[in-house]
Structures are given as C-alpha cells and as structure tokens.
Structure 1
Amino acid sequence: MHCPRAVAVELGLHSARFANQNGMHPTDVRALIALMDAARAGEEMTAGRLGGALGQAFFGPLIGSAVELLQGYDDRELAAIRSFLGGVRAAAAEG
C-alpha cells in the first residue's frame, strides 16, 4: 500500500513542478492531461467535457468514498450528520 501512495505523491509533485516551471496552475495541468487523453483516443474535447473530466477527476473519488462511508450509519446518525453539516453551511454562508 505504501508503494502506490508513494508513486501518487511523486507524480503529484512532478505535476506541480511542471505547472510551476510553465507558469500554470495545477488545474491547468489536469486540463492538459485531459486534452492529451482525448487526442490519443481520437475523441473531440469540448469545454463541457473538459469541465466534466476535471470535476470528476477531482471530486469523483471523494464523492464515492463519502457515499460508501455514509452507508455505515443508521437513519438517526444520518439525521445528526445532516443537521451538523447544515449548521456549518449556514455559518459559512454568514461569513
């Protein structure tokens, strides 16, 4: 388990160095990768597909993990979680 994590960390650092050396933001690098993947697959890349690819790449794994985690809670616990998160959201909205 440590080896895949170490590889992921190194690839992330490599991407960050590339972004820094080229005056790019990390999101720009992810967009570039999505464009290169589409070109290799012979697929057209639209702004909508690019946005979806970036959003899915960033949020998809987190959302999947969160949904899986929530399946371990009963209805009462889920209600408490909803209430807490709703309160945090309201507090953040107030500034």
Structure 2
Amino acid sequence: MFLVAAIALFIAMVLVLIRLYAGPTLYDRVLASNSFGTHTVLFIGVLGFLNGRPDFLDIALLYALINFVGTIAILKFFRYRAIGDMHQRNGAKK
C-alpha cells in the first residue's frame, strides 16, 4: 500500500516539475516549487516508513522548515528586490 503511495507521489512530483518549467507567471512557478517541496517531504516520510527508518521523519521535518523559509524569502525578494533590511541598503541610519 505504501509502495503505491510512493509511486503516486513520484508521479505527482513529475507533474509539478512540468508546471514549474511551464508556469506562465512567477507566482505559478513559486507555488510549484513549494508544492514540489511538500511532495518531497511526503516522499521522504513514505520512504522512511518503507525502509523501517523512523529517523527519516526528522529529516522530512527539517526539509519542510527549509522549504517554508525558502519560499518566503523568494517571495520577499521578488516583491522588494532585497532580502535584508531596506533601511541599511539605502544608506539610512536608524
């Protein structure tokens, strides 16, 4: 049963990659990359269960946190064209 879930997740990941490269707008591509990260987290969890390695869940949780922070950073960069503090970049003092 879990092998079928792993195969379905892999097929979904391939479809999301197609959307990532064919997405018409930037936000479609960011959403596809976030969805790919979520599918990867699920895939790592299922593989950990299939191999009898529950410590894969720790890796999956860490990857989920990195995926979330990375998505927020990408969206902030494309909105403000900067990752850091805007005041420091413009030379203004606090």
Normalising by structure 1, what TM-score?
0.32
Structure having the higher Rg: 1
Q: Which has the higher contact order (CA 8 A, sep 6+)?
A: 2
TM-score (norm. length: structure 2):
0.32
